[in-house]
Structures are given as C-alpha cells and as structure tokens.
Structure 1
C-alpha cells in the first residue's frame, strides 16, 4: 500500500503539462491575499502584477487577426461598406466572453481544456474531440500559411511562387522552437512586436485612405443589416471564434506560477487575465476596423467590390491609392506577413497543447511541434502547387476551409461550457446561472450563424453542380440529336425537306 501511495505522485509528474515548473513566470506578491469574515480580500490593483500577467491574452488575440479574418474584413468593407462595423464590435465581444471562460477553466483547475476532455469524457468521445480539434487546426493553418505565402509573393514582386512561400513559412516552426528555449516572456515579446507591426501598417493605410469619421461612428453605433450583406455579416461573426483558440487560451494561462488551491490567488489571476484579454481584443478590434474601413472607403459601391480577395487585394489597393512615400502594396504585404507568421506560430503552439492534452504521449515539445507542423505543412504545399495559378480557386478553397472551421466550433464550445458549469471541476469558480445562461445563448447564436453559413454554402454548391450537370446533359443531348439528324440527311438528302 505505501508503494502505491508513493507511485501516485510519480505518475502525476509523468503526465504532460502545458508548462514545466521551471518554465513558468513567477508572480511576485501573488500570495498576499487575506481572509476576512469567510471571504477573500484581494490586494489592491498593481500595474506591476498586470505586467507580469500580460502575455497569454495577446497570444490568444492573434487568432482574431489571422489572414482568414483579414479576408473577411476586406470583403465585408468592400461589399457592405461601414454598415457591419457594429457587428464586428459585438462579434469581438462574444469572442472575448468565450476566451474568458477558457481562461477561467485553465486558472481555476490548473489544467487546460484538452487535458480535462481526456480525463472527464469516455475514450471514444475524447478521440472524436481530438480529431475534430486537429482538423480545425489543420484547416486554420492552411489559411494562415497561404496568407504568409501570398505576402512573400507580394514582397518579392512575384518572384516567389506560393509553394516557395509555404516552404519558407514552414521554417517558422524552428524559429518558434528557438524562441521557446529563451523563455515564455521572450516568445510573448515577439508576438507583441508582430501585433505592433500589424497595428502600424494597417493604421498607416487607414490614415492614407482617410475614411469618413461620421460614417465610421454611425457604422459602429447603429445596427444595420440588409439581404445583400447577410453573407458578409455571417462571415464576420463566424470567423471570430476559432476552435483551436478555445483550447489554446486555457493552456496559455498555465504559464504563470500560482497556487490553484488558494482561492485568492485564482481570483487575482482571473482579474488580471480579464483586463489583459480585454485590452488585447480591443487592439485586435481596432486592427480589424482599420482593414474593413480601408476597403469600405476605396471599393464599396464599385464594380470591383465582389472580386476582391486576399490574393489581389494588395494590387487593388496600389491601383486605388497609388505609391506615395512607401508603396501601399508593400505596406499591405508587411502587415499580411506579420498576421500570417504570428498565426502560424500560435497554431503550432496550440497543436502542442492539443496533442499533449488529448493523447498524453510524453513526447518532447520539439517533437510535438514538428509533428503538428508537418500535419499542416504537407497538405498546404499540395494546395499551393495545385492552386498557385488561379486566384478564383484560392478563394473557393478559403470558403471550404471556413466551412471546416464552422463544423468544428461545437466540438470546442460545448465541452468548454459543460466543464465550466461543473462544480466538481470548477469548485467555487463554477459559472453562475446568469453567466451560464448568457454563455449558452452566445454559443447557440454562434453555432446557428455558422449553421446558416454551412447551409447557404452547400446549397449553392449543390445548385451549382446540378445546374452544370443539367447544362452539360442538355448540351450533350442537343449535340447527339443534331449529329443524328445530320447523318440521316447525309444518307437521304430529301429527308427533312418540306415540299
């Protein structure tokens, strides 16, 4: 019996964790909470502590700025103008709620979502959730890598084809592994720089475009929706919540050293993470707003509005706004490259946690990162080779990948909401009835919107296939009838003539 008791801690130590104890950031003065009248009294707000907790929320916010989101922004601006800015604001707020629940789960339990799914659900259910999470991650990574490859093609004046850009982007896995060796804070600093590059480049373009301030504020404050912009509206909401990001945030918050058994420390961590995540998503909202308004000002109401995509957006901007001191084409390319590179690295990061949490294979981090990267890069290179010569094909591919993300959303949201509602797991940090009801309403709304997107997409695809098949059948039937008649006339010239 004593042997078994001694073995239990050993087994727990052998389980994979998001971060080893020597990798975590030490929070100075975090255990200064006191008990008063049965309730925990938190120490006063500290900017120093906020700085120490700052990082995970900004890594999480990268998913709101990936190339897929940027494409949704530019299409919403070009087609709907300023009218969907209010929806972008509220979609970001819904995304913030989901991410705060993910952080709450990680901080309160000391485990991330993938680990808890493995522990709480039957093996078959856990495997289904893992497969769905991996598919969502691969789909998102293909979009992100293709976005980086497009940016490299722009910045090289077309010298680098897409497949070469994909190959170069694959190397960010090794950059990530190199940076990770220098500690969590160094890695977070790199992401802060990449977000700063996006803010500067897209802000520069926003200033060049000189959008209407009155229309911009009216678009944010007054809800408008028409039948012509419903598809763009659904896209704005649908691409905000990324399935792999729900798993990622619950793991990122493990990077700070706190005692999860002390209520005061958990409450204090949740307070600072909430402030940090809100600030991070406020910045991401502003960047998305910049992109939407740039294209709203330049292309809304023009014949080009329906033909703009990620591939040709840079050239359209160059034609519209000209060169200036620094050609806007390259400013766009730099911003797009920062978005693609940052999102692919966070995708690799998320892949590590998802694989480690669900499978608990005991692999070293570099090996997990390499496997995760290979799963995404190999299909992406194939995609790049197949679609390199066709912009329209890339847009169609992006739509299919968005559908893949939509299918995966329930497999991340439902487990998250179920787990944060269980008192056996969350203890005193179980979500209350009001927050629980509101969270399920938001989740239901997101899933309904994505369900509409799926139905609309597949109905159009099926209609297109049926229409093409009917046209081809009619064409073949008409051709066969004509040939038959021609043969009969050739054999009997008088046949078919009216006398």
Structure 2
C-alpha cells in the first residue's frame, strides 16, 4: 500500500477492503457537536431517530394495520409492540456500527464480504427499497385522491415530482430535513389523537391486545398480517438509513467521544421509536374501535376506511384528518426512502448518481407497477399491493439483520465498541424469529 495515501482509507483489521468516501458525503459530519452542557450535546444528536421512525407510519403500514385491526380487533397490538422492541435493539446496533467503523451497513457489507455475496445483498436491498417506494407512491396517491379528488393514476405520476422538495431541503442543510420530518410527525400525531378520542376505544381490550397469543402463529391469515406489520415496522431500508445519517453529526474520533456519540444516538432512536409505537398502535386501535367493533371485519382498503369514518364516528372532520395524516406519511416516507436508496447504491457498489437522478430512477421503478395495478384493478388492487409490499419487506429483513448482527459482534471490525454479548445474543434471537416466521409464511403460501 502506498504510504502517501491517507491513513483513513488504509484497510483495517478484520475488513477485506479499504474504507472509501463517507456515507452521504454531501452532509457527512455537517452538524456540529459543540462543547457545552450535557443537554445541549444531547440535543445535537436528536433528529436521525425520527427519520427512522417514519418507517412505522409509511402508507404500507396503514394497509396492514387497517386489515389487522378490522379483522382481529386489538389482538395484533402485541405484534406492534414486539416489532417496536426489535426495532429499538436493531437500530441501536446500526448506530454502534456507524460510530465504531465510520461505515454505514451497505459499506460494511461491501468491505466485509466477497463480491458475489455483497452483490446479492445489494440486489435484495434494492428490492426492499422498491417495495418501500411502491407503498409510498400508492399511499401518497390515495392521500391526494381523498383530500383533493385527484384520480389515483394522476396522483401516482405526481409523486415523482417530490424529488424537487427533497433537493430543496438538502440544499438548506440536513437539520432542515429533520425539521420537516418532525413537523409532519407532529401533524400526524395530532390527527390520530383527535380520531382516537372520537373513536373512544375499549381501553381494557387495548391493554389485553399487547399480550401475545399463540393464535398469531397458528392462524396463517393472522400470521400473514402479523408479518406485514413486522415488515412495515422493522424495515430493511431503515437499517441502512440509520447507519448512514448518524454520521451527519461531527463527533470526535477518540474512544470517549465515540462512546458519547453512541450513547446519545441510541437515546435519540429509542425515544423516536417509542413515539412511533404510539402512532403505529393508534392506527390499529382506530381500525379495531371503529370497524371491528361494528362488524366490518373485512376493511383493508384505505379509501373505504376513509369513507366509513364519518358515519361511524359521527364527525365530519374525521375523514379529513385521516387524509391529512396519510398524505403527511407519504411525504415523510419519500424523504427517508430517498436517502436510504442513495446509501444503498453508493455503499454497496460505490456508484454515485446525482440525488435527483437516483430519486427519479427509484420512483420510476415504483410508479410503473403502481400505475399498472391502479389502472387495471382500481383501489382494491392497490390495497392488496400495499399489503404484499410489506410482506416483501418482511421477507427481505433477514438479509439485512443477519449481516448487521454478525458485523457488530466482530471485535476485529468493531474494536472497543464491539456489541456486548448479551446484546448480540438478543439480536441473534430476533434474527432467528424473523427467519422462522418467514419460512412458515412461505410454507403456508406454497401449501395454499
């Protein structure tokens, strides 16, 4: 190796390849972490977790939660809770990987595994990004239809224009991206808070719903929806996203500074995901209290749910709040999926495109099937496509989770910040559960 090359890209112990450019180079280390009070330093790290939390509220999650809540009442709340716990632990590992190695998950996979393996992981990650984007395209189009009466086909095409919003926010600075996302999350929380108050759910049933039951595993239909909720919550692209955007903070390179950055980044993602659980559970509770309670157990279409909210809740504002929250979810998910797509492509194959071009390519891959299904089958077809997209995401999870667990458990790669054995053991159990559930889903599907 040429001694004149910067030491930061010399291959390190445990890695097959050298470290190249940082993740999201245009915003890497762009947010200062200034000396000062503890609270001021904590505040500097708050933000990335809320971008990750958007995965709980993307439009694909609406379809699975509406279907699960209307058909099984509060029973699948336990899945939302378990998914949330899984997400908190996995996102903590993502932050640990980023802080310890200076790599996002895509870069770490590229640098740790042989090329054939990393290329397969890249292809599967891109499939997950497309499934995520598909849900956003459909959800945003439905939101535009509910609020403004735009035909779904036109709404699908309009979603391609959001690339300009993202570019504008990125040019202002990464803090503006975070502020935009958090502001929309506040609007979503307000909308759901009002709707839950109108629905007046049975809180005893809600509490019982957080206790897991064996029926979730033995009932194949319930398992299908449970996996959809799992895929909509612990999303593969969130693992790549979080490990990239944590590095927007300009923390130091010493071990104490990295330990502090890891502690505060974990606190940020944990708080954000607990907030997201509240929103995620609210959608399922709303469906259970409104539709399951009145015997409408087959509600899966977002548009049908929107139409029925007013007569069932007796408030004219309920459908409008539903539509506003859906549109905000679609816009938020757009921002995070764009960055995740950039991290995946640049991290795995070091192929860098202008953000606008990358966004248009991924949007095109999602718009084509969404437009085709919308034109051919209408709203009922898009509802089924939304649920299917979330199951696809769930099936992709092992191919992101397993490398994450293995990498963060490696002391040669992680150094002093290697994951504790207890954390690795719990993460391994999570990965095993995900794999077993996915195998059962595939077996049930093949057996009809």
The aligned residue for residue 357 of structure 1 is 347
1:148/1:341 contact within 8 Å kept: yes
Identify the residue that residue 248 of structure 2 maps to in structure 1. Answer: 255
Q: Deviations over 1:296-315 (max 9, x none)?
A: 11122544212332231111
Distance 2:231 2:392 in 1: 11
2:239 equivalent to 1:246? yes
1:97 corresponds to: 89
Counterpart secondary structure, 1:111:
coil
User: For residue 386 of structure 1, what is the aligned residue in structure 2?
Assistant: 376
Asked whether the equivalents of residues 406 and 451 of structure 1 are also in contact (C-alpha less than 8 Å), the reply is: no
* Corresponding position of 1:477: none
CA distance in 2, matches of 1:301, 1:448: 33
Following the alignment from structure 1 to structure 2, what is the Cα–Cα distance between the partners of residues 17 and 274? 19
Q: Secondary structure at the match of 2:406?
A: helix
Q: C-alpha deviations, 1:127-151, integer Å up to 9, x for none?
A: 1111110011101110111011011
Q: Is structure 2 residue 308 aligned with structure 1 residue 316?
A: yes
- Equivalent residue of 1:312, what SS? helix
Distance change >3 Å, CA 291–CA 150, structure 1 → 2? same
Is 1:67–1:144's contact at 8 Å kept on the other side of the alignment? yes
Contact kept, 8 Å, 1:80 with 1:232, in 2: the verdict is no
- Whole-angstrom CA distance in 2 between matches of 1:144 and 1:313: 18
Counterpart in the other structure of 1:480: none
Alignment of 1:53-452 (within 5 A): 53-156=45-148, 159-220=149-210, 222-226=211-215, 229-260=222-253, 262-300=254-292, 302-324=294-316, 326=317, 328-387=318-377, 389=378, 391-452=379-440
SS of the equivalent of 1:19 reads coil
How far apart are 1:7 and its partner, in Å?
A: 4.3
Query: Which piece of structure 1 moves more, 398-407 or 135-144?
Result: 398-407
TM value normalised by structure 2:
0.91
Match of 1:19 in 2: 25
- Give the Cα–Cα distance (whole angstroms) in 1 for the partners of residues 424 and 176 of structure 2: 36
Measured after TM superposition, the shift of residue 76 of structure 1 is 2.0
Contact 1:66 1:340 in 2 (8 A): yes
- Measured after TM superposition, the shift of residue 119 of structure 1 is 1.2
Deviation at 1:236, TM superposition (A): 3.1
| Larger radius of gyration between Structure 1 and Structure 2 | 1
Q: 2-side partners of 1:22 and 1:246: how far apart? A: 17
CA contact (8 A) 1:173 1:373 kept: no
Distance of 1:241 and 1:28 partners within structure 2:
32
Q: Which residue, 3, 6, 26 being the options, matches 1:5?
A: 3
Query: Which consecutive unaligned segments of at least 5 residues does structure 1 have?
Result: 31-44, 461-499
Measure how far apart 1:322 and its partner are: 3.0
Q: Secondary structure of the equivalent of 1:181?
A: helix
Q: Distance in 1 between matches of 2:32 and 2:404?
A: 27
Displacement, 1:6?
2.8
Question: CA separation of 1:101/1:423 partners in 2, compared to 1, >3 Å: closer, same or farther?
Answer: same
Q: Distance in 1 between matches of 2:27 and 2:263?
A: 22
The root-mean-square deviation of aligned C-alpha atoms, in Å, is 2.3
**1:83, 1:225 within 8 Å by CA — same for their partners in 2?**
no
Query: Structure 2 unaligned runs (5+)?
Result: 11-18
SS of 2:303's equivalent?
Answer: coil
Q: Is the 8 A contact 2:99 2:262 kept in 1?
A: yes
TM-score where L is the length of structure 1: 0.82
Deviations 1:6-30 (A, max 9, x none): 3456978973532347761010128
